[in-house]
Structure 1
Amino acid sequence: MAELLDKPQSFVSKYESGERRLDLIELRYICRAIGTSLEEFVRKFENIVNSDE
């Protein structure tokens, strides 16, 4: 992920460990890096959350 974002591994590790939270802009960059849109990510996330209720 760090390579895809062109960021140091320590940057990504902070998110992975919960030391830092993603803001909306950073989440958008991550979505682009993994080949999806923020809208599609949120749609899938909502489907998962709603299916657990």
Structure 2
Amino acid sequence: MYVGDHPANDIGPAKAAGLRAAHLRRGPIGLTASAAHADWTVESLIKRAELLAGL
């Protein structure tokens, strides 16, 4: 799983490489940009850890 806040620089390339991607909603880009093609959207890295624990 790749985690990033920037849809064009993080989520898109991760998906193109065959990875599952989580959009981290933080910072100026992560809070305003849409990452509809991400597998998940998380509000914090703690939420990402909880997500991984459930897989």
* TM-score of the aligned structures, taking structure 1 as reference length: 0.28
Greater RCO structure (CA 8 Å; 6+ sep): 2
Structure whose residues are more often helix by fraction: 1
Question: Is the radius of gyration larger for structure 1 or structure 2?
Answer: 1
Structure whose residues are more often strand by fraction: 2
